[in-house]
Structure 1
Amino acid sequence: MSEPFGTRLRRAMDERGPLCVGIDPHASLLADWGLGDDVAGLERFSRTVVEAVADRVAVIKPQSAFFERFGSRGVAVLERVVEETRAAGALVVMDAKRGDIGSTMAGYAEAFLRKDAPLFSDALTVSPYLGYGSLAPAVELARESGTGLFVLALTSNPEGPEVQHAVRADGRSVAATVLAHLAAENTGAEPLGSFGAVVGATVGDLSSYDLAINGPLLAPGVGAQGATPADLPAVFGSAVGNVVPNVSRGVLRHGPDIAALRAATAAFAGEIRAAVAGS
């Protein structure tokens, strides 16, 4: 068995800081960079981001949808992004939000978490809203391969609360139930479990939720969506040391100039370190 994802992530966060840079090559960003909305533009954009920051951040998070929309040629670009990111020392969290049941969930897991898969990633985002137990094939393969999962728990989209805040018969919300499952998955793991939650930095008051899951908290929403690094301690409380803040547009808008991308990355990383250290 490989070294667990949680162990590798903790080391990367300690050495490089906890910043995650998202690669979201949607059409408007390609246009902002002066690139065409085509495979050539996709490749130039994505590989430039990797060249600029993958040797200095803990995590790179490609959004699979923006590659898949170009078909097999787009997926081929994603394969190169994964390979080059890992070669530069960053961990790859594939943002694919997969969720299904039985053999189909197993197939999704194998696509991203099987060691010989072309898109083999260090971790995968998954959706538990067919029931947390539906993720079992992905949980099992992650344990076998030393990879991890980030499970949607408290997302920042306005539609999320109708499901995530719904209250079960036992009085516990759906989101709280997901967090409890993750805490159970990570029981006894040191220094950090491999099964994390996606918790938006813009969700608001999280004081009623137990975020102490002994696993990482992937936190989108820092930068263009309105949250700042300074907000993190107030949002995440005592769990802030396990937060992996994701910044996408806040960094990407500075391209295609590599020096500008690196400067933006360094600025966010420094602000995040200072916020966490001062909490």
Structure 2
Amino acid sequence: MSKKEKVNIFWFRRDIRLEDNTGLFHALEAGLKVVPVFIFDKEILDKLEDKSDRRVDYFYQALEEIHTELKKHKSGLTVFHDKPVEAFKKLIKDFEIDTVFCNRDYEPQAIKRDEEIQDLLKKNDVNFQYFKDQVIFEKDDVVKNDGKPYTVYTPYSRKWKENFKSVTFKKMEVDFSKFHQYSPSKFLTLKDLGFEKTDFEFKKPSLKKTIIDDYDQYRDFPAMDHTTRLGIALRFGTISVRKCVEFAQKHNEVWLNELIWREFFMQILYH
């Protein structure tokens, strides 16, 4: 790893995918080589009593898949097991960083974390840019005519659908030549994180027409394998919400309404 090479950083959080990733796309288009990073927050992991936590294994396997893909292009994913602020201190020591790119996170703990990181970066003359990626419409995009947030779903949903008519999605392809070509010294193992392998096998999430078309009929019967099973994928960003909404529009409005519910609750969480 070259010392003090000028780069941009892309910080993966709840967006564990290379495809259709807003912040990553902008990082790759910004002109400098990009170092992709993920931080397993030590304070969060240390609080998890179950060392066979399938959520951790899910995250790990999804990250491992990204690392494997990057290695094909002579790059790799740098993974930390630390407090985020400490991880960034190490990155600042190793690189001359122009900008840290990421996608917005809306949970209170995440907002506090990001403020701490921004303070550190500002003190070191590093820019910080984040983008909307988890949702179609965020905190103040869908509000009442008086500017106040909705507290009831039905009028929120109507306004959401009205606003969506003017939305267009930009095609965001991955240019692997723009990643910094280096091999991280070590890709952490689950054991390094203090966790064990589970029976979970990560498979890249996909949108199945046969399931989505019949979603309204079978969604309440999980034993029939006719639910989307995309909850965790949307939660951790291993699938793009834009792809889901586009697919739902074409195939099943009931599922589209479920996706709008998700954004409604995230808006309430913020406000």
TM-score (norm 2): 0.27
Greater RCO structure (CA 8 Å; 6+ sep): 2
TM-score (norm 1): 0.26
